Every structure is written in C-alpha cells, then in structure tokens.
Amino acid sequence: MLRILGSAKTLCDRITRRDLLRVGGLGMLSGGLVEALGGQSLAGSEEAARGFGKAKRVILLYLYGAAAQHELWDLKPEAPAEIRGIFRPIDSVVPGISVCEHLPNLARVADRCAFIRSMTHPYNIHSAAYTLTGVDKVDIPMELGPYDPRHWPFFGSVVDYLAQQRNPLAPVPPVPRNVGLPFQFSSRCAEFQRGGPYGGFLGRGFNPVWTEFEGQLPKTIERWRGDVDVPVKEPYAAISADGRFSVSDSARLRQDVTLDRLQTRRTLLEQLDDRRREIAAAPAVRSLDRFQEMAYALIGSPRIREALDISREPLELRERYGMTLFGQATLAGRRLLEAGATVVSVFWDEIQTANSAWDTHFSHFERLKDELLPGLDRALPTLILDLEQRGMLDDTLVLCLTEHGRTPKLSTTPRGAGREHWSEVYCNLVAGAGVARGRQIGSSDKNGAFVKDDPVSPKDILCTMYHLLGIDPHQTIPDRLGRPFRLVSEGDVLPRLLA
C-alpha cells in the first residue's frame, strides 16, 4: 500500500491531504461507480429517447451580462412605449417567428433554429454558474467567487471528465475536449471575477483550456462606470485582421520549466504510475496532475496551434463572422471542433468595467444598435451556415445562451435608457444536432414580463444538451469526498425541443 505521511495541509482545490487520501480510498472502494458513468440512457419511452446521442460536439456562444428579451426575438410592439422600446420586429423566413430589426441575418436562418421565449429561473443575479452547471442554487458570493467550494462543474468539464473516466489511462488528446475562448472567463474585468465555467468539485484540472488573444484594438469606447467615463479599447467592437489566438499560459508550462526538466519530472512521475492508477477514479486526485499532463501534451501538439490559426481562413469568410473578438473567436471555435474538440465555449465578456458586455443598465439602445446586435448577427448566423456547408450542423449542437433577461420597464439614467436584471422570463436559442428546426417554444405575456406558457428552466436546457450528447443527465458523478451528485440537480429533457 502506498502511504503518504504529513500534515493536514490544504491543497489548491481546498481539500486537505487527509481528505485527498480519504477520497482516494473511497474511489478504490467504489469501483463500480466509474463504470456506471458511460452515458447510458435511462429514458424508457420512444419520445424521451428521441435524439439521444445525436450530437458529437457542442459550441456555446454565451452572452454574458444578460441579453434583453425585448430586443432579441420577443419584441412587444403593442406594449406601452416604456416597455416596447424603440426597435421594431421583422419577419423571419419562418411564418410566425419574428426577430429584432437589427438581426436580419438571423431572420434568414431562423428555419435552422429553435427560439425559446419562456426561459425562467429565480436568481436575479449574473448567475452564469446556474446556467452552465448543474448546481441547485446560487448566491452573490458564488457569483463573485469562481472557486467557491459550493460550485458544481461546468458542463464542458463534466463531458471531459466522463470521457476520461471511460478510459482513465488514455493519453491527453492533442486537442483538448473542453476549450474556452477568447480568454479565461471574467479575467478582463478590473472590478469583479465571476463564477461559472470552471471545474467546480471536479477540481481545477477540469477547467476549460483557455486561449489568449493578441492583436490591435482599433476602437476606443467611453464606458460609463456610474461616476466617471472610462476609455476602453473594446475588442468586441473591432479587432485588427492580424489578431491571433494561442493557448493560455494557464495551460502551458512556466517559462522556467524546460523540456528537459519536464521530461525528467515526467520520468520520475511514471515510477508512481502503478499507484496512481489505483486512485485514478477519484476526480480530486486526478485533477491535481491534470494541468501538467495537459501542458506536456499541448507542447507537442501542432493540431491545436493549427486549429487556432484563423489566418488560414479566407478573409471573406472571416469578415462574414465579423472582425470583432466575438466573431473571430466563434470562427476559431468552429476550427477547434473540426480539429477534435468536444465542447468549445465562446464568451462575450466584460472588458475592464462592470456593466459592460450585455449588461445594459444604461445606454441600452445605443449599445445594442451599434455593438451588440450587429456583432451577434454576424457571428451566430454565419456559424450556423458554415457548419451546414461543411456537413457538421447535423451533429454539432449550437447553444446561444444568456443568464437572465432584462426588466420590461425601461429605467432612466444620466446615460440614457436602460433595463435592469430580470430572470422571470427571457430568451435562448438552440440549433443543430437533434434540435427541431424553425420552432418557437413558449411565450411571455403581453409585456414580456412573465412566462405565459411552457416555462423552461436552464436545467432543462442542460438536461437536453447532455441527452443529445448521449449522456444520461440524471446519472451521478462523485464530488471531492466521493459523494454522488446528479449531473443536473433538477430539470428534464425537453421533447418539444427535439426533432
């Protein structure tokens, strides 16, 4: 038996050495648990089983800050002026489905999409964690604490973990299964760091592999911070054509670690492989050396560098995606999927100040018209058509999500109208593998304030996503102490969303 002596020192994932050994023991005593994590469907009826395993890969486009339902595809032209706003609806190619006038490209691909207009949940905060993980509840400390121990893992982290558990001794893939663009989520805001797309109780080794962006930012925008204007070089408004993506230093070696030194360390570690295999099923243990394994694999892998090289794409296609950070990151995301990634997430994130991205508490209509809607209307429809033309749409799930909606009634600020947080009803969009095309799900009341029919929870979206990936959303995975947790705390697969 391998014994490790020492104090109860707390490790980076907030577990002690004693907890670590306890988890390892639990992992060895519960050998049947990992064997159960293979993606078996528990669905009994033909309707419930529809679409199971249809998706081979997922691309998430996340609109952080919360996109307003009234300005996407749930406009209320008959509502009072203080509710309907100033944008008008336009017809899409699907009779009965309209979208905002500033989304003309999306209107032309509506027949490939499912529009959800009855999203709802009880957390009126920037609950990216509630949207992207299976956690049952969130609060402000969790929102502002990426490594709060109560967090559950991001769905991309779960997909990565389950794949590894099916073959725990397999080498790290040359292209990571779980990649996040354009940089680590919430790492460019000077005021807050947000929770959400991280490994949660699986450990930091199951965080997404993040990219970095380098390039010129030609557009400066004055952002109002509530007390003063702040000049911000805004990459989501424009970037130079020579901009490029690379793997973030968080997934690479420190500069002082040479390949020779790494090889020596790896040789020493391999002497412990027999013992490591005994506890490979414990996620907290496996997570501790995962970053090193990932770094070693990425150094020798030209495939991820080639996948991130967007200069290989025709300029005309790049311009269709939009010469913005979101557009080019979406294009890089498609290339990563082609190269072998399973879950690619593209975040439209805060830059420097809070109340940026899609968090339109002020200058609501100006920001939507000039920055947000045009950027979305380039990247999302182009991605759908690009995947379709490459024969990938039928087995690629496209998710365009946001964490809540915005208030029906406009607010007044010194910097123009705004909408505040509102989680009672909002909109999401889904397309691709196994998803019904040209369908509208649910509706809101006449003011876009509450769900009128067919409420949909973020947990229902997660359950459906897992289902389409061939993973039973009600199966369990062990937390750091070996306790079983369902992938999603509640929710159901949505048959009405499936083709």
For the stretch 73-100, pLDDT in tens is 999 999 999 999 999 999 999 999 999 9
Q: Does residue 9 belong to any structural domain of this protein?
A: no
Query: What is the distance between the alpha carbons of residues 150 and 144, in angstroms, rounded to a whole number?
Result: 12
The number of folded domains in the chain is: 1
Question: DSSP letter at 201?
Answer: G
Q: For 308-321, what is the mean pLDDT?
A: 97
68: confidence class by pLDDT, cuts 50, 70, 90: very high
Query: What is the distance between the alpha carbons of residues 437 and 109, in angstroms, rounded to a whole number?
Result: 10
Q: Does residue 8 belong to any structural domain of this protein?
A: no
Q: Does residue 461 belong to any structural domain of this protein?
A: yes
- Does the pLDDT at position 246 exceed 70? yes
Full DSSP string of 32-88:
HHHHT-S------SHHHHTTTT--SEEEEEEETT---GGGTT---TTS-HHHH-S--
Q: Is the dihedral of CA 63, 66, 72, 74 positive or negative?
A: positive
Question: DSSP letter at 180?
Answer: E
What DSSP element (H or E) covers 335?
Answer: helix 325-339
18: confidence class by pLDDT, cuts 50, 70, 90: very low
Position 35 scores a pLDDT of: 35
Q: Is the dihedral of CA 489, 440, 128, 139 positive or negative?
A: negative
- Residues 6 or more apart whose CB falls under 8 angstroms from that of 264 comprise none
Residue with tokens 């204007």: 229
Q: For 63-70, what is the mean pLDDT?
A: 98
% of the chain surpassing 70 pLDDT: 80
191: confidence class by pLDDT, cuts 50, 70, 90: confident
The pLDDT tens digits for 397-431 are: 999 999 999 999 999 998 899 999 999 999 999 99
276: confidence class by pLDDT, cuts 50, 70, 90: very low
User: What is the Cα Rg of the chain in Å?
Assistant: 22
310: confidence class by pLDDT, cuts 50, 70, 90: very high
170: confidence class by pLDDT, cuts 50, 70, 90: confident
C-beta atoms surrounding 367 within 10 Å: 22
- Does the pLDDT at position 3 exceed 50? no
Write b or e for each residue in 347-358: b if 16 or more Cβ atoms lie within 10 A of its Cβ, otherwise e: bbbbbbbbbbbb
Cβ atoms of 365 and 87 within 8 Å: the answer is yes
Closest CA to 333 of 301, 284, 379, 394: 379
Strands 113-119 and 426-432: antiparallel
- Does the pLDDT at position 446 exceed 80? yes
Position 295 scores a pLDDT of: 62
Distances from the Cα of 279 to the Cα of 116, 165, 169, 492, angstroms: 43, 12, 12, 33
Token digits of residue 46: 């033909």
Burial of 254 (0-12, 13-18, 19+ CB in 10 A): exposed
The pLDDT tens digits for 36-50 are: 334 444 444 566 688
456: confidence class by pLDDT, cuts 50, 70, 90: very high
Position 259 scores a pLDDT of: 40
The pLDDT tens digits for 350-366 are: 999 998 999 999 999 99
471: confidence class by pLDDT, cuts 50, 70, 90: very high
Residue with tokens 């991280």: 198
Distances from the Cα of 258 to the Cα of 18, 210, 254, 267, 288, angstroms: 32, 22, 9, 14, 21
Tell me the helix, strand and coil percentages in the chain, rounded to 5. 35, 20, 45
- Tallying the residues shown for the chain, one arrives at 499
Question: DSSP letter at 445?
Answer: -
Between 391 and 291, the higher pLDDT residue: 391
Average pLDDT, the chain: 85
- Residues 6 or more apart whose CB falls under 8 angstroms from that of 371 comprise 221, 234, 236, 237
Q: For 256-261, what is the mean pLDDT?
A: 41
298: confidence class by pLDDT, cuts 50, 70, 90: low
Position 8 scores a pLDDT of: 36
Residue with tokens 């025709």: 314
Task: Please give the residue range of the domain that contains residue 248.
Answer: 17-497
- Does the pLDDT at position 138 exceed 90? yes
- Does the pLDDT at position 389 exceed 60? yes
Count Cα neighbours of 148 within 13 Å in the Cβ-side half-sphere: 20
Token digits of residue 57: 């890969």
Cα 348 vs. chain centroid, distance in angstroms?
10
Q: Which three-class secondary structure state does DSSP give residue 164?
A: helix
Position 46 scores a pLDDT of: 67
**Phi, psi torsion values for 142, nearest 5 degrees:** -70, -40
What DSSP element (H or E) covers 353?
Answer: none
Burial of 316 (0-12, 13-18, 19+ CB in 10 A): exposed
Position 28 scores a pLDDT of: 32
pTM of the model: 0.85
Residue with tokens 């956690």: 135
- Does the pLDDT at position 158 exceed 80? yes
CATH classification at residue 366: 3.40.720
264: confidence class by pLDDT, cuts 50, 70, 90: very low
Between 7 and 397, the higher pLDDT residue: 397
Distances from the Cα of 78 to the Cα of 70, 75, 379, angstroms: 12, 9, 30
Range scoring the smallest mean pLDDT among 101-110, 189-198, 280-289, 453-462? 280-289
Position 227 scores a pLDDT of: 81
